[in-house]
Amino acid sequence: MDRAAGRPSEVWPGSPAPLGAHWDGTGTNVALWSAGATAVDLCLFDPDGTEHRQRLQETTHQVWHGRLPGVGPGQRYGYRVHGGYDPASGARYNPAKLLLDPYARAVDGDLTLDPALFGYATGHPDSATADPADSAPFVPRGVVIHDSFPWAGDAPPRTAWSDTVIYEVHVKGATMRHPDVPPALRGTYAGLAHPAFVEHLVSLGVTAVELLPVHHFVSEPHLLRRGLTNYWGYNTLGYFAPHAAYSSAGAGGAQVTEFKAMVKAMHAAGIEVILDVVYNHTAEGDHTGPTLSFKGIDNGGYYRLGAGQPDRYTDYTGCGNTLDVRRPQVLALLMDSLRYWVTEMHVDGFRFDLASALARSFHDVDRLSAFFDVVHQDPVVSQVKLIAEPWDIGEGGYQVGNFPPLWTEWNGKYRDTVRDVWSGQHVGVRDLAYRLTGSSDLYRSDGRRPFASVNFVTAHDGFTLRDLYTYETKRNEANGEDNRDGEGHNRGWNCGVEGPSDDPAVMELRAKQVRNVLATLLLSTGVPMLTAGDELGRTQEGNNNAYCQDSELSWLDWGAIDADLWTFTSRLVALRRSSPALRQEAFFDGHEVPGSGGTRDLAWFAPSGGQLTTEDWYDTGLQTIGMYLDGRGIRHRDERGRPVVDDSWLVWVHAGPEDVEVHLPGAPWADGYEFAVSTEWPTGAPARPAVVAPGPITMPARTVWALRVLRRP
């Protein structure tokens, strides 16, 4: 509800802290940091768009501030910042451009493509002359809000990392086509919180949703010119505001309440909410991009400018600019944002897009950078889940395994290894063994545990799991970039036919390959991440970079669900949840388990039944491996200090194209085995006798088995 109460007749001095616009019950305090500004105008907007400018007279420690009595929740506002316009020196002040408050808690209005968005004269980005056209009609505004929500009864799940199963999902795409979600709620925070979708998550067994960006974002001009939009949302403009277009309740501040209600509903179902956050760059692009906020407030203060060429930007992100986290004010912005989303919005963690860009002190990625120091000592942020995408596009930016303790990482090496194995590449089993057991080669040396590895095979960026075994060539023509965009080397396999096929043998092979990948993922030690729709058989018709496809191509199709695949996936998730041996908290030793008669906590078997030899480990032609996990050797205790004991497991992975005879080891390893899951069956449920004796058995081509170890009393 809008509650703006007329225009103030004066602006009181107010306070320089906190930054942003804050209502205190009788008025609103505003504070904006700009080190180089010569003057700052606060711009208030009536519902009809009429603008009223108020000059802020007070500045304290580079913060321009004032208090406006009578101004309250619902008030739309922005800034015009005065100063020199000299791109050659890095200065891009231009009071003709309305600027969004970086600390705005809510945003109203769309970005409309117009020459007035740009600070420079039309068509001349290197001009030393500022463009005089007013951008206000074409840009979004901040909204003063009242932070009040009935959080009573909210209980964050605080799921242990080792128990976590992540579901990466897009807020809009999740429910736009869901028949059981009311049309008015589809594609919104309220739609995500609807029982029809929450029940899907609960039935699947996931413990956390990782939401693609929900910080308020806008589309790049080059997309708007082609009639497209930024669907994924990696183009942030407001780091405190939930994206307004995902709100069913309007953009006057109600989007904040709706987001909080979604979080509370997820928590009530035992599901954590993790945000994918983009603190490495902003929506303003490079020197040719629009002036929307930071660029016009203090260009050199917010961005990394080119060394010796301050009219350009250092770009470690591929998006035109890089936020300069070396600067205290920028670092404070990031930390204030993170704390806000934890304390006020109750989110449970963050996944940091292109996190290596945040770790660059000067050029090299620095594990001891100020960003890590501040995060680690922060009493709020250090206590939630922190996930790094451990790479950027700059030199030396690939840093998988190199982030410090407290951090988990998207394990790109896991993705690449598993894809190579199941696409038939002759890569042997040595690297696969590391990935199956938590990637100790990457995370053990600095004291981290297996859950430092977020295991994934697909994500929003790339082929869906179904498409990974349907296409070998990307089909991104709809993006308008002549199919030049998107990854060209996908490590997939089309099973002999490119694109859709009605050949039953090809269709079954593709379905089995999908099951093989899911079984590998969910039987691996570490934290599994599923991509929304992979459990349903979703396709993007070969588009592996659908970032600009806000359409049925990207939305989950609830009318085309692969019921067997859904059952298979939920069966595996339930198996993982019920068995501590499959989600261990400590790395394996390979040591003998006391009282076992000679078994080890971890052992590896060749098809012959013997344990793998050194020669086997370096045999690139070997495509079959047995992983034995002894449930009596778990290095974990419960909350009362008692040892955790579980069933033992023998997991066989056979990626070869022909059937193979494998020998199931007998005593002391087992007296028999029970099939729990096999990818040869559409739902994973046993179709053959479930119990088999030790000894030789034929394993079908391209199959994963999970066998429960049986022992005589």
Active-site residue set? 353, 389
CB of 643 closer than 8 Å to CB of 637? yes
Q: Omega of the bond prior to 18 within 30 degrees of 0, cis?
A: yes
CB of 621 closer than 8 Å to CB of 426? yes
The one-letter amino acid code at 686 reads P
Q: Which residues on adjacent β-strands are paired with residue 350?
A: 275, 386
Cα(623)–Cα(421) distance, rounded to whole angstroms? 8
Q: Is 533 exposed, middle or buried (0-12, 13-18, 19+ CB in 10 A)?
A: buried
Q: What is the dihedral of CA 684, 690, 695, 698, to 10 degrees?
A: -40
Cα(61)–Cα(226) distance, rounded to whole angstroms? 44
Q: Which residues on adjacent β-strands are paired with residue 110?
A: none
Cα(193)–Cα(663) distance, rounded to whole angstroms? 49
Q: Which residues on adjacent β-strands are paired with residue 99?
A: 79
Cα(119)–Cα(139) distance, rounded to whole angstroms? 13
Look at strands 453-455 and 408-410 and give their pairing: parallel
Written as six digits, the tokens of 650 are: 């023998």
The one-letter amino acid code at 167 reads Y
Neighbours of 52 (CB within 10 A): 14
CA 441, 446, 451 angle in degrees (round to 5)?
65
Q: Whole-angstrom distance between the N-terminal and C-terminal Cα of the chain?
A: 69
Indicate if the alpha-carbon torsion angle 543, 544, 545, 547 is positive or negative: positive
Cα(602)–Cα(51) distance, rounded to whole angstroms? 69
Written as six digits, the tokens of 206 are: 């996931």
Cα(485)–Cα(222) distance, rounded to whole angstroms? 14
Neighbours of 337 (CB within 10 A): 22
Indicate if the alpha-carbon torsion angle 212, 214, 215, 219 is positive or negative: positive
Cα(670)–Cα(672) distance, rounded to whole angstroms? 5
CB of 225 closer than 8 Å to CB of 293? no
Q: At what angle do helices 412-422 and 504-522 cross, to 10 degrees?
A: 150
The one-letter amino acid code at 480 reads G
Neighbours of 671 (CB within 10 A): 14
Neighbours of 373 (CB within 10 A): 12
The one-letter amino acid code at 488 reads G
CA 395, 401, 402 angle in degrees (round to 5)?
60
3-state helix, strand, coil in the chain (%, to 5): 25, 20, 55
Strand order in the sheet with 672-678: 602-605, 624-629, 649-654, 703-710, 672-678, 691-692
C-alpha distance from residue 6 to each of 40, 105, 137 (Å)? 21, 21, 21
Cα(290)–Cα(712) distance, rounded to whole angstroms? 72
Cα(77)–Cα(69) distance, rounded to whole angstroms? 15
φ and ψ at residue 567, rounded to 5 degrees: -65, -40
